[in-house]
Amino acid sequence: MESPSENPARRWLAAARGPEVAASLEAVYEMITDQIAARDPACWGSGRCCNFKAAGHRLYTTGLEAAYTLTRLPSGRDLTREGLEAAISRGDCPFLALNLCGVHAVKPAACRVYFCDRSAKLWQEELAERAHAMIRALHERHALAYRYDEWRTLLGEFLE
């Protein structure tokens, strides 16, 4: 593992590109999808969940998940320092485009679990905790530095 002072982003990127780690993350995401389908929460496609400041929440994820998203960005959705800084200034996600998620298929677990639907609050915390434990264990199995931090802060690690 890296020393605490080193930026682990390179290792996260390499691991996220690897088929074993990618398949493990995708299995967690599939579990989330199955659990959400069983509960059928409302999603209004308004982009409110991606406007962190307006929604009054912060999105937390792991470095490995941020790397997974970045290694699978859809065409034309590159992350730039300017785009990230603009999103931070606005209080939203740098991948929010026309009130829709620009990385929907490759978004992290926290995005997959969060719904504006008030009835989802009854179960989404438990699902988020279960998914997070699985992802933390994945870090440990592959001797990857574990960092759980605010989404945009972690994205900035990859621009250094």
Give the containing element (helix H, strand E) for 136.
Answer: helix 121-141
pLDDT of residue 61: 95
Q: Does the pLDDT value for residue 5 go beyond 70?
A: no
Domain boundaries along the sequence of the chain = 9-157
Strand partners, 97: 100
**Is the distance from CB of 49 to CB of 115 less than 8 angstroms?**
yes
Two tokens, residue 78: 């590159």
Q: Which pLDDT band, with edges at 50, 70 and 90, does 132 fall under?
A: very high
> What's the predicted TM-score (pTM) here?
0.90
pLDDT of residue 45: 64
- Better-scored residue on pLDDT, 62 or 120: 62
- Residue 85 Cα distances to 24, 35, 68, 114, angstroms: 31, 34, 21, 23
For 154, phi then psi, to 5°, come to -65, -40
Residue 66 is which amino acid? A
Two tokens, residue 99: 């009130």
Q: Does the pLDDT value for residue 23 go beyond 80?
A: yes
Return the half-sphere exposure (C-beta side, CA atoms, 13 A cut-off) of residue 43.
16
Q: Does the pLDDT value for residue 48 go beyond 80?
A: no
Give the containing element (helix H, strand E) for 64.
Answer: helix 63-71
**Is the distance from CB of 59 to CB of 151 less than 8 angstroms?**
yes
pLDDT mean over 106-133: 85
